[in-house]
Amino acid sequence: MVASAQGGGEHWSSRTAFVLAAIGAAVGLGNIWRFPTLAGENGGGAFVLVYVLCVALIGMPMVLTEILLGRTGGGRADAVGSVAEVAERSGRSRRWSIFAGVEVLAAFLILSFYSVVAGWVLYYVWISGFDFLGALFSGSPFAPAFEHLTQDQVTGLMGALFGNPGQLLLQHAIFMAVTLAIVASGVHGGIERAAKWLMPAFFVLLVMLTVYGAFTGEFGHAVSFLFTPDFSKLSPVAINEALGQAFFSLSLGSAALVTYGSYVPGDVRLAPTAGMIATVDTGVAMLAGLMIFPIVFSAGLDPAAGPSLIFQSLPVAFQSMSAGALIGLAFFVLIFFAALTSSISLLEGPTAWAMARFGLGRKVTALLVACGAFLIGGACALGYNVWSDVRPLSFWPIFANADILDSIDGVTGKLMLPLAGFGLALFTGWRADRRLIEVESGLSPAMFLLWRSLVAWLAPVAVGLILLFGLFPSLLA
Ligand code: PHE
């Protein structure tokens, strides 16, 4: 690929390639691990309703904003360069790009712990893979999972993994290396190709497992849990959490969409694509809920089990289900695929930035970024065993009890993503040249007005509130 004078000069080969890559970035652990966890902890329906409102009114307009900033940047392949370019063409200070800089840093930090959690998924892929092979070779491919283990031993798998630093680091290293190999192969040969294979496979598995859950589990119970709002459960903290989750799940505030947007050819209409990304991402979160909760309820498990829901509760459920070994394997492979297309986008943003900033080639740059993220993630992994007493942000009340991983998750999710989104919404709503973005958006005049009002008014106000209450929850008391 020939590098243009301005940036990497790489492009998606088609609109479909872009859509798959962007949906791949959005759909990930956020949908399948974080969304059901939060919905479970916050009482289901009311949380889901607020989440959907946040996606529709703030998330979707911001997805368009970020992709649009990337493409309007005129082929600068990185988020910071793109925003600086739009600012300059609008006759504004290039310093607005500092918010894109926050996005790049956030992506780097998220990548570090995302790879650790994805490493847990990978570990469960291995063990359920061996479990299924065992069932297969003993002539019963449709056996329940972990037939030779007691229920305590199955729940104990997670604790054993967390207590084993070598194993955690190994899984983290393997996952990071796979991500690196794909990003190092470029936009075409790597990111696009991975998305074209992994996303369709992901959707097939998702539909199969949801249908299975619908027929074998307590589907009605799950539906009423997810979709019957009980407004007494709707605390301000839950609202705050829902908005933050919308950002995380849509990959907002973290350079991914601006960077992917910069590779979009000029003839692709952005608004329908943005709508599709937000719709599919939300649909997948709902399907993930409809896949997980029927199983949880039929096994009599607690929907509010928290982060251990998929690593502890579900394996127990698979243990008492016919074909549980196969279903368990399919389930963890599904999450692995989703996590991989997201981690690719998390590595791509910082890599594109560092390539433009330091003028090094893609492979070397991606390697350096991945090594840096591996080291920070390594500290997160050690935070579960050798450094389990470490509380890096103990001086900050809301993070006082957070271990290393939760601290980085908290600072990125509660502070950096909203801050970057807030800044870019203000910039796009008030400072960017109106004609420039109107043309680029491809929206009708009425829709443009609606979108711009949401970005100029609603997004900064709502996101400003998350920042405020996220950082100073005592204000809500
Ligand atoms: N959206 C991804 C998920 O839901 C995570 C992610 C965040 C990816 C930020 C890219 C950028 O898992």
At residue 231, the pLDDT reads 84
Q: What digits encode the pLDDT tens for the residues 245-293?
A: 999 999 999 999 999 999 999 889 999 999 999 999 999 999 999 888 8
Q: How far apart are CA 477 and CA 472, in angstroms?
A: 10
| Ligand 1 pocket, residue 115 CB under 6 Å | no
Whether residue 2 is predicted with pLDDT greater than 80 in this model: the reply is: no
For domain 15-476, give the CATH number.
1.20.1740
Rounded to whole angstroms, the Cα distance separating 26 from 252 reads: 9
Q: Whose CA is nearest to atom 7 of ligand 1?
A: 251
Q: Quick one: average pLDDT of 369-374? A: 98
**pLDDT at residue 6, rounded to an integer:** 40
- When pLDDT is averaged across residues 435-452 and rounded to a whole number, the result is 93
337 lines ligand 1 (CB under 6 A): no
- 186-232: pLDDT as tens digits: 999 999 999 999 999 999 999 998 888 888 888 999 999 899 888 88
Q: How far apart are CA 258 and CA 274, in angstroms?
A: 12
Percent of the chain with pLDDT over 70: 97
CA distances from 257 to 26, 325, 342 (A): 9, 37, 11
pLDDT band at 305 (very low <50, low <70, confident <90, very high): confident
Handedness of CA 53, 57, 58, 60 (dihedral sign): positive
Residue 74: pLDDT band with limits 50, 70, 90: low
pLDDT tens digits, residue range 448-474? 999 999 999 999 999 898 788 777 778
Report the mean per-residue pLDDT for the chain.
Answer: 91
Q: Are 353 and 78 in contact (CB under 8 A)?
A: yes
Query: Is pLDDT at 77 greater than 90 in this prediction?
Result: no
Give the pLDDT score at 76.
66
Position 295 pLDDT exceeds 90: no
Question: Which pair of structure tokens corresponds to residue 403?
Answer: 């271990």
pLDDT tens figures, 159-174: 999 999 999 999 999 9
Higher pLDDT, 75 or 283: 283
341 pocket-lining for ligand 1 (C-beta < 6 Å): no
Q: Where residue 300 falls among pLDDT bands split at 50, 70, 90?
A: confident
Which of 299-308, 319-328, 345-354, 435-444 is the least confident region? 299-308
Model confidence at 7: pLDDT above 50: no
pLDDT score recorded for residue 477: 67
Q: Which residue has the tokens 């009605």?
A: 220
Pocket probe for ligand 1: among 114, 175, 353, the residue whose CB has the most ligand atoms within 8 Å is 114
pLDDT at 3 over 70: no
State the closest ligand 1 atom to the C-alpha of 106, by its place in the atom list counted from 1: 9
Ligand 1 centroid–CA 281 distance in Å is 10
99 has pLDDT over 50:
yes
SS3 289: helix
From first CA to last CA, the distance across the chain in angstroms is 56
Residue 255 CB less than 6 A away from ligand 1: no
Residue 4: which pLDDT band, with cuts at 50, 70 and 90? Answer: very low
- The per-residue pLDDT for 294 is 87
Give yes or no for residue 303 having a pLDDT over 90.
no
Quick check: CB of 252 below 6 Å from ligand 1?
A: no
Instruction: Answer yes or no: is pLDDT of 57 > 80.
Output: yes
Residue type (1 letter), 127? I
